[in-house]
Amino acid sequence: MKQKRIAVFGSTGSIGTQALNVIAANKELFSAEVLTAQTNDELLIKQALEFSPNIVVIGDDNRYLKVKEALSGTDIKVFAGEKALEEVAALDCYDMMLAGIVGYAGLRPTLQAINLGKAIALANKETLVVAGDIVMQQAMEKGAAIIPVDSEHSAIFQCLVGESNNPISKIVLTASGGPFLGKKPNFLVNVKRDHALQHPNWTMGAKITIDSATLMNKGLEMIEAKWLFNLTPEQIQVVIHPQSIIHSMVQFEDGSLKAQMGLPDMKLPIQYAMAFPQRITNDFPRYDFKKPQTLSFEEPDIKTFRNLGLAIEALKKAGNMPCILNAANEIAVYAFLKNRIGFLDMTEVVEKTMQKISFIEKPTLLEYFETDGEARNFAASLIHM
């Protein structure tokens, strides 16, 4: 396996930092060719000095000079701004993009990489939630492999290797249930930011941790799974599995279930995606059957965690409705993290935005962009930001 040049988009986030850990442990297999960050200039500088990429991009223009000066003694090229993210993604200087930018912001750079036919290690589920039909169509036309990094979708992907001629009956996405499993609205109404950021099993960025606490994350994953694996909404099931050992399952038409298991550690699906189709050795902790846990499963409580129900509604309606859902949710989560709205208010913002923004059955890419902007503006108007 010759060395693969990785463009780590979102290198200072949770996924990006873990991807660089994998690269550092496998220098003969991977190099970091591109590193990008939005605002975390200090960590970006530190990463650039350690990994010596060809290019770094800082999304926030105001931080350009600081990064440029810090790297002035190196050969590293420094760019800044949102447009630079797209322009660097369009350069033919890397073999694979690790798409780790959080939220809608990851869509445009990923489309540029797909247009070059680059392999995508996709950690940004919102890319497919917002415009999955267009993204997957372009990937097929350009021959760009999309290998999921989300632990659940990586699990499904791994279960499907060697099964290309066997139709899927359904997939089962497992959910930990987050920190408030079993809680009711009278408890959730008082939940504060710091409480919601304490996930029982996974160490993740703030946005995805809040989405996990509201079960919105599982809804977004259902929409992503539809596009990744060419499924109907009826073929996608969510089950609560608090231990997070089984990462997801596939049931085939003969009734057989295949599951992918392991300890909750994002470095494993990141490494799998970057090295695919090979599996490479590592020193990650292993699940130990000599100390077995009870593995339990239950139905999600959609009455209490209504975000999952709203996401299922968007999944079934299709068109631009998942795009509306995602935009409103990003605004709502941001407001909650800033202590501007309560935990249950996030659901209200999403629901009202879905009711307000015009539905388009078969949007163009431009209409997706416009929908995102409209939904964000309306959601923000509900919050008095």
> Tokens for 376?
């964000």
Distance of CA 273 to the CA centre of its chain: 13
Q: Are residues 171 and 299 in the same domain?
A: yes
Select from 87, 120, 148 the last residue of a domain.
148
What are the distances in angstroms from CA 15 to CA 81, 98, 128, 181, 206?
21, 9, 17, 25, 12
Statement to judge: residues 74 and 127 lie in one domain: yes
The pLDDT assigned to 328 comes to: 98
- Please report the pLDDT score of residue 105 as a whole number: 87
Q: What is the per-residue pLDDT across 217-259, written as a single tens digit (0 to 9) for each?
A: 999 999 999 999 999 999 999 999 999 999 999 999 999 999 9
| Share of residues in the chain with pLDDT > 90 (%) | 91
Task: Write the pLDDT tens digit of every residue in 320-341.
Answer: 999 999 999 999 999 999 999 9
Residues 133 and 15 in one domain: yes
Residue 215's pLDDT is what? 96
173: left (phi over 0), alpha (psi -120 to 50) or beta: beta
Query: At 322, is the secondary structure helix, strand, or coil?
Result: helix
Average the pLDDT over 354-371 and give the result. 97
pLDDT the model gives residue 202: 67
Domain-terminating residue out of 89, 124, 148: 148
In this prediction, residue 85 carries a pLDDT of 96
Same domain (yes/no): 247, 169: yes
303 phi and psi angles, rounded to 5 deg: -65, -40
Do 159 and 119 reside in the same domain of the chain?
Answer: no
> Within this chain, do residues 232 and 182 fall inside the same structural domain, yes or no?
yes
What total of structural domains would you count in the chain? Answer: 3
Give the per-residue pLDDT at 331: 97
Same domain for 160 and 82, yes or no, is no
Within a domain: residue 73? Answer: yes
Q: Does residue 192 carry a pLDDT above 80?
A: yes
Helices (H), the chain: 14-25, 41-51, 64-70, 82-89, 107-115, 126-142, 151-160, 185-188, 193-196, 206-214, 216-229, 267-275, 306-317, 321-337, 345-356, 365-383
Q: Is the domain of 366 the same as that of 332?
A: yes
Query: Would you place residue 291 in the very low, low, confident or very high pLDDT band (cuts 50, 70, 90)?
Result: confident
Query: What's the pLDDT band for 103 if we cut at 50, 70, 90?
Result: confident
**For 111-127, how does the pLDDT look when each residue is reduced to its tens digit (9 = 90+)?**
999 999 999 999 998 89
Look at residue 46 and tell me whether its pLDDT is greater than 90.
yes
Band (198; pLDDT cuts 50, 70, 90): confident
The mean pLDDT of 330-359, rounded to a whole number, is: 96
Residue 355 lies in a domain: yes
In a domain, 263, yes or no: no
For 264-277, what is the mean pLDDT?
96
Q: Give the domain-ending residue among 125, 148, 171.
A: 148
Whether 106 and 124 map to the same domain: the answer is: yes
Average pLDDT, the chain: 95
Alpha carbons 261 and 243: distance in angstroms, whole number: 11
CATH number at residue 51: 3.40.50.720
Same domain, 16 and 109: yes
Q: Which amino acid type is present at position 101? A: I
Residue 385's pLDDT is: 52
- Per-residue model confidence (pLDDT) at position 359: 98
Chain-centre distance of CA 187, in angstroms?
28
CA distances (Å), 134 to each of 97, 127, 130, 137, 371, in order?
Answer: 18, 10, 9, 5, 15
Contact predicate 126/100, CB 8 Å: no
Range of the domain at 342: 318-385
Q: What is the mean pLDDT of residues 73-101?
A: 96
- Same domain? For 300 and 342 the reply is no
Do the domain assignments include residue 268?
A: no
Asked if residue 207 and residue 165 are part of one domain, the reply reads yes
